[in-house]
Amino acid sequence: HIGPRACGWPGPLTDPERGYTDLIHLAQVSVTGTRPLPPVIRVSERRSLMEPTAPSPARQLLEHAYACFNARDVVSALSDMHPDVEWSNGMDGGMAHGRDEVRDYWTRQWTSVDPHVDPLRIDDDDHGHFTVAVPPIVRDLSGLVVAERFVEHAYLVEDGLIRRMEIRPAEHKAGRHTS
């Protein structure tokens, strides 16, 4: 039998870290022949080289706000907002102005539906504007899904707080809603 296992490579199911390193070594031998081989980088070393940079404080703020909203932790979610925040009212239309109106809006919303919103992608323009692609799932209080459609939440973040959030129809493009 010819293949990586015939060469003694254990494969990813038995030891993924060693298997990946051995596969690189096998590929180097078959490509380079008798020339000296470059050092083999272990998977754990490669992971640290490939990890994305740490998220910005504004991105962490938005992720925290979504987690708090989904957990119904109103106090923590509101602490992420500017005292004079402007927030889209997705149920009735218009805007909620200030933390108290956002609290009232959410409290009223949660008495009739059970929304859950997980961001799929967060884009920014380096000027405090963020666009978050989300597929909100809205259930009635019995658990039946009553709405599920992609939207975008457009944010303005100022001085480390959410200043404004608008709900917009999502732009559907190939690959647009992937993480």
Tens digits of residue pLDDT in 9-44: 344 434 444 444 444 444 444 444 555 545 554 444
Name the DSSP letter for residue 146: E
Alpha-helical (H) ranges within 33-168 are 43-50, 57-71, 74-79, 98-112
pTM given for the model: 0.66
Confidence of residue 52 (pLDDT cuts 50, 70, 90): low
Cα–Cα distance measured from residue 69 to residue 75, given in angstroms and rounded to the nearest whole number? 10
129-134 sheet: strands from edge to edge: 95-97, 81-88, 161-169, 151-158, 129-134, 121-124
Phi, psi of 117 (to 5 degrees): -130, 115
Please, what sign has the CA dihedral across residues 84, 164, 158, 56?
A: positive
- Mean pLDDT (the chain) is 77
Confidence of residue 172 (pLDDT cuts 50, 70, 90): low
pLDDT over 90 percentage in the chain: 54
Q: Over 60: is that where the pLDDT of 107 sits?
A: yes
Q: Over 90: is that where the pLDDT of 96 sits?
A: yes
The predicted structure's pLDDT at residue 34? 52
The predicted structure's pLDDT at residue 14? 41
Phi, psi of 60 (to 5 degrees): -65, -40
Token pair, residue 22, equals 């051995």
